Structure 1
C-alpha cells in the first residue's frame, strides 16, 4: 500500500524541540474537528517513521501525530539524565499532547518504550485521552510482577544490562550497532532501506544515542539477573498503575522481550480491556502486521 503523506513539524515543549509527523500540513491540529486524533509513541531503538506502514492502512478520516520521543532522531536531546526519568517524561509528553491536540480527546497508541510511557500516561493524565492502544509493551505492574516470579521473563530482560552498562555507548558504536540491528532483525535493513537509513542516521549522532540509552538508565527499578536471589526479588515493588479508559492490547506472541504470560494480570489493572494476539508476529507487530493491527485499531476507535 502507498504510504500516506505525512508532514514534518517541530514544536517546543518545556524548552526543548520535539519533531513529529502529522497528516496535516498545518502544525496545529484543528480544534473544531470531530475526526479521531491518534498520537503514536514509538519504542526503542526506532523513531516516528516506524508508524508509517500502519498509518497507511488507517482510514483517512483519522488525524495522526507521531513524535520522535524526546532525544530520539530529530527531537532535541534533553538537558540532563534526570529528564529521562519516567515521571519527567510523562510531564513532558502530556504537555506535548496538550499542544498538538488542542483540547481534543486523543487516542493514545504506544509500542515498546512508547507503550511503557503510554500506560502510566493514560493512568495519570486520563483527562487527555479517550482510549488507549498498546502494542507489545508491558504494563508496569504486570511486568514487575513477572520479573519477581518468572525466570523466563528475567532471562528475556537480560539485554537491558548491556544497554545500561557504563560502556554501552562506545560498545554500540564500535560494533556498528550490532545489538540494535539484531533486535530489529536483518530483514528490516533490506526490505525498508529508507526507514533503516533514518534509524542508523539517528544512532550515529552521539548525543541522540546517549539520549536513547538514558531511557533505560532511568528505569524505575533495576532489572534483576536471571538467577537473582529471593532478597533481590522481594525488593522489587509492584506499582499500582490503573487504567480507567477503554484499552486495546495488540500482541505478537513470538516476542523476544516479553513472555506472553505478562498479559494474564492485565484485568487486575485495566477496567475495560480488549486483547487480540497474533500467533506469528514478534515484538515488532506494528510493522510486521500493519494491516492486521490497523484493522483492529479502526474497529476500536470507531
Structure 2
C-alpha cells in the first residue's frame, strides 16, 4: 500500500511524498526526473517495503503537488539538495541508500558530494555525473546534439509548446513504448496538468547544457563521491550517451558500474524487476 502526504520542510518548501513500509525500518529514498513524478517508483517502493525497508519517494520541488517557486533561480542545485537533506531529517537521519534517476540523480550526486553523512550508499540510474557530463558537453558533438532539447526547454514559451496537441512533444520523449498503458498515460498527464513550469525551471537554472557549458568550470572537490555507489546505465539511452560513464572512477572512489544493453532511459518502466534485483544485490553487499 502506498501512503501519500504533503511534508512541510523547515525552510518553507512542501514536498508531496509517496511511501511504503513501516517507519523505523532502514530508509531508501527514491528521486525521480523530468518529465516524471514520484509515482514512477511505486513498484520499487512496494518491492522493498516487503523486504523490510521504509521506502520514500518525494515529488521534487516544482512537480506534482510540491511547492512550485516561480523564479527559476529557486531551482539551483543548492536549493534542491537542501530540500532532500531536510526530508531525510524527517525520516530519522541517515538513509540506507539514496536511489535516483535523471534529474533526481543530479540532486543525488550533489547530496553524496556535499552531505555524504546522510546516506550509506548511492544508486544512480541513467543520470550523468556532473564531471563527465560537463566534459562531454564541452567536447563531444554527439552529446551536444543529444542534449539540444535542453535549449528548447529553457525557452519562455516551452510550457505552452509542450502542452500543444495533448502533450504530443512530451509523450514523444517516451518514443511510444509498449509499457505506456492508458492508465500510466493518464497519470503522467495529471502531473503535467498540475505544472510544467517547475520542470522547465530545472533546465533554466542549470548551466550544464549545450552552449552554456563551455564557460563552466567545476572544482574537483565539488565532484568527488566516496560512499559506495552503484551506477546502473541503460546503454540505448538516446539522450545520455555511453561516454558519460567513461572515467567515472576518477570521481567515484567506490564505484560499481553495471551497463545494461538493450535498455533505454526509461529502464525503470521497461525492466522494473531487473532494476529491483540489481539494487537488492547492491544493498546486500
Q: TM-score, normalised by structure 1?
A: 0.87
Structure 1 residue 78: Cα displacement = 2.3
Q: Does 1:36 align with 2:26?
A: yes
Structure 1 residue 163: Cα displacement = 0.5
**Equivalent in 54, 73, 82 of residue 82 of structure 1:** 73
**Equivalent in 8, 12, 16 of residue 8 of structure 2:** 12
Distance 1:157 1:191, change over 3 A: closer
Structure 1 residue 10: Cα displacement = 1.5
Q: Which runs of 5+ in 1 are unaligned?
A: 225-231
Residue 275 of structure 2: aligned partner = 293
**Equivalent in 192, 205, 229 of residue 247 of structure 1:** 229
Structure 1 residue 210: Cα displacement = 0.8
Structure 1 residue 146: Cα displacement = 0.9
Work out whether residues 231 and 256 of structure 2, in 8 Å CA contact, stay in contact via their aligned partners in 1. Answer: yes
| 1:199-210 mapped onto 2 (5 Å cutoff) | 199-205=188-194, 208-210=195-197
Give per-residue Cα distances to partners, 1:187-243, cap 9 Å, x unaligned: 36x7433332121012123xx21111101100134422xxxxxxx775332453110
Q: Does 1:65 align with 2:62?
A: no
Give per-residue Cα distances to partners, 1:244-264, cap 9 Å, x unaligned: 100000111000111101101
Q: Does 1:193 align with 2:182?
A: yes
Work out whether residues 252 and 281 of structure 1, in 8 Å CA contact, stay in contact via their aligned partners in 2. Answer: yes
Structure 1 residue 79: Cα displacement = 5.2
Q: Does 1:258 align with 2:240?
A: yes
Work out whether residues 140 and 239 of structure 1, in 8 Å CA contact, stay in contact via their aligned partners in 2. Answer: no
Aligned residues: 280
Work out whether residues 63 and 198 of structure 2, in 8 Å CA contact, stay in contact via their aligned partners in 1. Answer: yes
Work out whether residues 246 and 272 of structure 1, in 8 Å CA contact, stay in contact via their aligned partners in 2. Answer: yes
Residue 84 of structure 2: aligned partner = 93
Structure 1 residue 120: Cα displacement = 1.1
Structure 1 residue 95: Cα displacement = 0.9
Residue 179 of structure 1: aligned partner = 169
44-53 vs 171-180, which moves further:
171-180
Q: Structure 1 CA distance, aligned partners of 2:182 and 2:26?
A: 31
Work out whether residues 254 and 279 of structure 1, in 8 Å CA contact, stay in contact via their aligned partners in 2. Answer: yes
Residue 211 of structure 1: aligned partner = 198
Structure 1 residue 80: Cα displacement = 3.0
Distance 1:269 1:175, change over 3 A: same
Q: Which runs of 5+ in 2 are unaligned?
A: none
SS in 2 for 1:223: coil
Work out whether residues 37 and 63 of structure 2, in 8 Å CA contact, stay in contact via their aligned partners in 1. Answer: yes
Work out whether residues 88 and 95 of structure 2, in 8 Å CA contact, stay in contact via their aligned partners in 1. Answer: no
Q: TM-score, normalised by structure 2?
A: 0.92
Q: Structure 2 CA distance, aligned partners of 1:37 and 1:47?
A: 19
Structure 1 residue 60: Cα displacement = 2.4
Give per-residue Cα distances to partners, 1:85-140, cap 9 Å, x unaligned: 111111122111111x2124331011000001111111101111100000000000
RMSD across aligned positions (CA): 1.8
Work out whether residues 28 and 95 of structure 2, in 8 Å CA contact, stay in contact via their aligned partners in 1. Answer: no
